[in-house]
Amino acid sequence: MAPTSTRTLFWTPTAKQIEESPDTLFREFVNRRLGLRLRDYDELHAWSIKDLNAFWTLASEYTGVVMDRTDPDVLFDDSRPMEEVNPRLIRAKLNYAENMLLAHPYARSNNRAVLSFIEPASLSPRDLDDCLMRSLSFEELYQEVRLVSHTLRTQYGIKPGDRVATFSPSNAEAVILCLATLAVGGVWSSCPSEFGVTAVLERLEQIEPKVLLTADFYRYNGKRQEIFPKLEEILAKLPSVKNVVVVGQLSKDREPRIEFAEQKDGRTWSTWSEMVRLGEAAPKELKFERVDAMAPQWILYSSGTTGKPKAIVHSVGGMTLSQKMVQTLHNATVPGDSQLTFTTLGWMMWNHLLSTLGCGACIAAYDGSPFAPSASTIWAITARYKLTNLGLSPRYLQVLETEGYIPNKEFDLTHVKQVQTAGSVLKPELYDWMRANIHENVWVNNGTGGTDICNLFIGAVRSKPIYHGELTCIALAMDLQAWDDDGNPVMDRQGDMVITKPFPNMPIGFWGPDGEKRYHAAYFEAYPEKKPAASDGVLNPGGVRFGSAEIYSVVEKIEEVEDCLAIAQKLPDGDERFILFVKPMQAPLTSDVVDKIKLAIRQALSTRHVPAKVIALTKIPYTTNGKRLEVPTKKLVNGVKFESLNLSSAEDPDCLRVFVNHPELRLDGASPKAKL
C-alpha cells in the first residue's frame, strides 16, 4: 500500500451502499450466529483467518452450498501444516455442477444462463444478432447437461476421475461439457484453439483425456482459422483420446462445415448434436455424483517456468466453497446479473467465469478479437444484450484510452454495474477513464488471483472505498503477507506474496508421477523450515501469462541457437514486455535467425508468445547446479542494482553485468499495442 499522503480516493460507498453490501450482510449474519461484534470488513477478515473452520462453515451456509457433511463438527480442517497434503481438508461430499445449476433462485428457470458469441462480421444490428451463436436458459442448460452427462456415462464410459478435455474456442458447448463432466465426477481440462501443437501436447499428454471437444474453425481478427490441421497432429500423439466431438463454431446450427469419418484410428468421431442425441434415454432428473470434497475437479496448467507446464489439480470442494464465496461476497454477483469476461479456455478466468452460474447469473462467452471489426465490438455486444458485469484486462483498457475511444459516446452503458480487472497492473488514470467513458457510477473491481488457486488473493468489496491504482482488500480467509528473501514479513516495500494458513482452493497436487513431490517443491521450498510460499516468475506481457520453459522448448530446437534466456521487462505504463536473450551458434545473431525464432514460437505456441525483442548474448547466466538465472537477470533488467543481488549460486556472477544499462533495453516510455 502506498503511503497515505500519496493516495487519491476514486470512489467511496454511501452509508446505504455499505449497509447493503454483501460482506456487510454476511458480517451481520456471523455476528448473530456467533454473538460477535465485528464492526467492518477489516474485523471480518481478521476473524476469518483466525477461525477458519467457523468461517467456511458459515460462508458455505450463507452462500447456499449444497453438500453432505461427513463430520458434524468440522467442515474445514486447518489443524495440519500447509505443506502436508491433507486428504480431509474439507469434510463433505458434493458436486460442483449441482451447485452451479440448482443452488440458486434461478435454478431450472427461463432466465438466461449462457450467451455464446463469436467475433461479429460487422456491428450492424443484423450481424450483432448473428454473432450470438447460442442462448440458453437455466432450464435449457440443465436439460442439455442432463443429456450430455448421460452420453458420457453410458456411451463414452466416463467414470469419476476420468479426464475430459477441450482443444476448442470458447463457446456454450464447452460450458455444457464441463458441467456434464463434473456432474458425473469426471475431471475437466482445457486448451484454447489458438495454442500450437506443442503447447497442447505438453499439457494433455500429461493427463491422458478420454474425450476431446474441438471445433472446425474459429474467427479471429476477421480471419477464419482452421483447427483440423493442428488437431490431426495432436491426436497422432494422444492415443488416450477415444472420442472426439466436433462443434461447428461459426454455424448457427452448430453443425461442422468440414467432413470427417465416424471411425478413424480407433476413435469415434461425432458432432455435438450427435453427442446430445446419444443421451436421449437419460433419466428425467440429472443424477449428480456427489464425490469427496478433495476429489479432483479440473486441471489447470502452470506457465512452464521450470519445465513442461505443471498440471495443477484443483478439488471439487475447494472450487465450490471458494468460488461461491468470492462471487457472492467480493464480486457481489446476484441472480439476473450477466458476466462477460474476455478470456480463452487457456486462462483460469474461464473456469472462474463458470462460477457466476452458481449465483443465478448468466455467462456471456465471447470468442474472437475485442478489436475486430473495431474497438466498439465488446461495447456493442454489452449494450445490445444488456450485460451487467464485464471482466476486462488493463491492457485492453489501456489501448482504448490511448486510441481515444469513448464507448458511452456510441452506446448507453448505464446498465453496466461493474468492471472487473485482472491480469496486469491497472494504471490510476484508467479508473478515471472508466468513470468518464462507461458511466460515473460504475464499480471498478480490481483484483489479483492465479492459476494456482483459480480464484482471488486480493479483491474488492462494496463496503470499502477504492483508491486509484490500489487493490482494495485481501480476500476473506486468506492470510496473505509479504516476505523478504529471508522469510521475514515486510511492510511498505517489495516482497514475495505468501499465504501462511490453509485455504480450501489450495491445489491438491500435480497430476502424474511424483506429483506430490513436485507440488511440494514448487510451493513449499522457498523458505526452508519456515512458512510455505510461492514466488511467481512467469512472463505476463499485456496480461497474457506464460512461462519461460515453453519458450525454451521451442527455441532450443533451432539449429542456429546455442542457448537462450526469457525475461520480462517492466514498462512505464505498468505493463511488461517479453525479452528473449539468445546465444547464437555463430556470431553475429542475424535478422534471418531472429525471424526464424519468432516464426517458430508463433507456430508452436501462439502470436502472444512472440518476444518484443530478441537480443544477442555471448554467455547465458546459470547457477552452479545448472539452472538459468532468470530471477536475478529479471531484477537487473528492471533496474535493481547489481551490488544488491545475492549471486552466491551463480556460476559466473560477472556475466550478469551485461544486463546493467544494456543499450537495447532502454525504454521510450511507451509499450507496443498488445495482441489481445
Provide CATH 3.30.300.30 ranges for the chain: 541-665
CB 367 within 8 A of CB 342: no
Q: What angle do CA 165, 313, 183 make, to 5 degrees?
A: 55
pTM attached to this predicted model:
0.85
Which residue in 206, 189, 160 sits closest to 514, CA to CA?
206
CATH entry 3.40.710.10 includes domain 541-665? no
Q: What is the pLDDT of residue 592?
A: 96
Pairing of strands 67-69, 267-271: unpaired
The string of pLDDT tens digits covering residues 464-484 is 999 999 999 999 999 999 887
Q: Which of 201-205, 480-484, 526-530, 654-658 has the lowest mean pLDDT?
A: 526-530
Provide CATH 3.40.50.12780 ranges for the chain: 1-536
Using omega within 30 degrees of 0 as the cis cutoff, is the peptide bond preceding 588 cis? Answer: yes
258 against 545, higher pLDDT: 258
Q: What is the pLDDT of residue 668?
A: 63
Average pLDDT of 639-666? Answer: 86
Q: Return the exposure string of 201-212: e unless at least 16 CB atoms fall within 10 Å of the residue's CB, then b.
A: bbbbbbbebbbb
Answer yes or no: is pLDDT of 304 > 80: no
Q: Give the whole-angstrom CA distance, residue 632 versus residue 642.
A: 9
How does DSSP assign 187-198, residue by residue?
A: EEEEEETTS-HH
The string of pLDDT tens digits covering residues 347-392 is 999 999 999 999 999 999 999 999 999 999 999 999 999 999 999 9
Q: Which of 286-300, 440-454, 620-634 has the lowest mean pLDDT?
A: 620-634
Q: Which of 261-275, 371-385, 533-547 has the lowest mean pLDDT?
A: 533-547
The torsion angles phi and psi of 228, rounded to 5 degrees, stand at -60, -35
The string of pLDDT tens digits covering residues 563-599 is 999 999 999 877 899 999 999 999 999 999 999 999 9
Q: What is the mean pLDDT of the chain?
A: 92
Q: What is the pLDDT of residue 83?
A: 84
Q: What is the CATH number of domain 1-536?
A: 3.40.50.12780
Question: Quick one: how many helices (H) and strands (E) in the chain?
Answer: 21, 31
Bridge partners, residue 566, by sequence: 580
Q: What is the pLDDT of residue 626?
A: 63
Helix (H), strand (E) at residue 553: helix 548-555
Answer yes or no: is pLDDT of 412 > 90: yes
Q: What is the pLDDT of residue 178?
A: 99
Confidence band of 672 (pLDDT split at 50, 70, 90): very low
Q: What is the pLDDT of residue 544?
A: 76
Pairing of strands 455-459, 448-450: antiparallel
Determine what percent of the chain is predicted with pLDDT higher than 90.
Answer: 76
CB 360 within 8 A of CB 310: no
